[in-house]
Structure 1
């Protein structure tokens, strides 16, 4: 897919954030509710209504400047598929081009899950004031012994497997002190298990397969940092992790969460797209209204 305003945009155009105003919906097998409900840009792997050249295994943005959106996720269906793109742009008419390729078979084998994707945002996350804490105490002190208050990437029921996410962060902490945003542990709760979950990581960069507070762009088949942020990790960040070789299966439910800073102390702008397969189309996905989707400046 590729999309662009019919008229050349200017810095004052009201729809420069059109990648959050265009919404992709996909329905499987005559379902009343979409199984994919995500702003267009976010679905294809980069947040903040921005584009950048990158290549992962399932998603890619290609030159020029990431304007070509490509998805290679398998999306099986039995009785039909419907793809919709809706525009909530306020002024711009958009050019939109696409290819959808598919194979037709006489029947679908048993056991193929239906592809899903959903979007979430919390702006800002519910952190704490630094107060009299030193910078080190604020960034590294305290404990989280139950996972409550973590940012939620995916919370769903049924049987299926989780295949990854894109996480976007706008660093809202205004300081000249060391301002790394990513000391949050990933915690994935499978089938209603109590804390501590079996999958409990050690920091944001560790879950996304990077190390030591990365500040460089990087793209690999299963993980990458497409927007690394500015000086002292300021501004807008976007990172992805796909569980292709290591899908996380669940039988009754899954809740994928991550701390916003160590022990949920940071108050940043977090948004995310989660991708998973479920044995049946999942009803009831929701998407925040436009005024809650607009990206803020870093």
Structure 2
């Protein structure tokens, strides 16, 4: 009986942990009272032209609705003949009539495709399925109004923009402590390392350099107000030879001058180890779907979601990562940070112009320069 009771308590604990980890998902054992809706690109005439054409410079509103409600799923697939269209098309979301978006990123980066190329991968919150199917399961609540737009900043039309956005509305108001989804794009092309006079990562010149306050770290996001950080997707285009991931993650909570949380290396933060071992992988909360050799021109992508313990902040928050130990490397980083916070939010940095968003090798000095000077394809 004692074993049975212990097993029962273990099962209950596991179920409670699962329920807490998936609290945005409806309880399948209880009758739901919300109304489910879908905003889609379906042909309004009843025909089979279930897509939108988006001219260069034009924007299309893919969702506009009143609340209270919550977006539960977003799906896109795109046909666009222009190279790097995943970098040229911009996704934005606005909550409750705000003037500036709470979500603003190139559409590919939002779905973890920060190198501007398609790659199938799978996680709990984001995935890219076969073929070129972009999926998001982040819950996005709104009290009064929600609007999502897609803007074509390319030079050629999007010939087929397909989308389905599922959302729930309900009579009850959202709880008073509900916080809003945010996603912010950042890039450094390149990060500027403090020296190019190095031949390998582990030499004394590099290893003995201290970085106790995160000065010159690559910044994933900064926020003011209260909320919680829930994850990041990041891609790297190496400008230099050698292992790019010597840098540590550092988080600064509520105005801290030194890291409130500090890690041991890039692959450790993304929950791999030993340089990821050269084998791509993708799991529910972490992964490295793209891994290439540690040479100039190599491309890699990573993600981590803090669903086990979102990082709370009450006044301010800054999430960063070194680029090489103490920021000695000068590779290109492209990232999207995901978090929830109360509105209003601090202004986002301006989105870089289209041509500056396209991944391109940079002349930065250091090892591997012979491989540089051409745009990646």
Pairwise same-fold verdict (TM > 0.5): yes
- Consecutive unaligned residues of structure 2, counting only runs of 5 or more, are 1-75, 361-374
Residue in structure 2 matching 1:34, options 101, 108, 122: 101
Match of 2:136 in 1: 71
CA contact (8 A) 1:48 1:236 kept: yes
1:256 partnered with 2:324: no
Match of 1:164 in 2: 231
1:203 partnered with 2:268: no
SS of 1:136 mapped into structure 2: coil
Q: Distance in 2 between matches of 1:55 and 1:133?
A: 36
- 1:9-32 C-alpha deviation (Å, 9 max, x unpaired): 4xxxxx210001000000001111
- 1:25-50 C-alpha deviation (Å, 9 max, x unpaired): 00001111110000000001121111
Cα RMSD (Å):
1.7
Given the two structures, how large is their TM-score scaled by the length of structure 2?
0.72
Q: Distance in 2 between matches of 1:102 and 1:281?
A: 23
CA contact (8 A) 1:186 1:200 kept: yes
Residue in structure 2 matching 1:293, options 346, 354, 357: 357
Query: Number of aligned pairs?
Result: 283
The structure with the larger Rg is: 2
- 1:184-228 C-alpha deviation (Å, 9 max, x unpaired): 011100000121x22000100010000000121110111010111
CA contact (8 A) 2:223 2:346 kept: no
- 1:124-178 C-alpha deviation (Å, 9 max, x unpaired): 11103342666521653422122110000011111000001011111101x4xxx
Does 1 or 2 have the higher relative contact order (CA < 8 Å, sep 6+)? 1
1:277 partnered with 2:355: no
SS of 1:76 mapped into structure 2: strand
Residue in structure 1 matching 2:330, options 247, 267, 273: 267
Match of 2:14 in 1: none
- Consecutive unaligned residues of structure 1, counting only runs of 5 or more, are 10-14
CA contact (8 A) 2:189 2:333 kept: yes
Residue in structure 1 matching 2:112, options 45, 60, 68: 45
Q: Distance in 2 between matches of 1:224 and 1:134?
A: 26
CA contact (8 A) 1:163 1:277 kept: yes
Match of 1:223 in 2: 286
Once the two structures are TM-superposed, the CA of residue 278 in structure 1 deviates from its matched residue by: 0.7
1:120 partnered with 2:176: no
- 1:233-259 C-alpha deviation (Å, 9 max, x unpaired): 851111001111110000000010110
Q: Distance in 2 between matches of 1:167 and 1:139?
A: 24
SS of 1:144 mapped into structure 2: coil
1:3 partnered with 2:78: yes
Q: Distance in 1 between matches of 2:154 and 2:200?
A: 44
CA contact (8 A) 2:248 2:265 kept: yes
Given the two structures, how large is their TM-score scaled by the length of structure 1?
0.90
Match of 1:131 in 2: 197
Distance 1:134 1:210, change over 3 A: closer
CA contact (8 A) 2:235 2:335 kept: yes
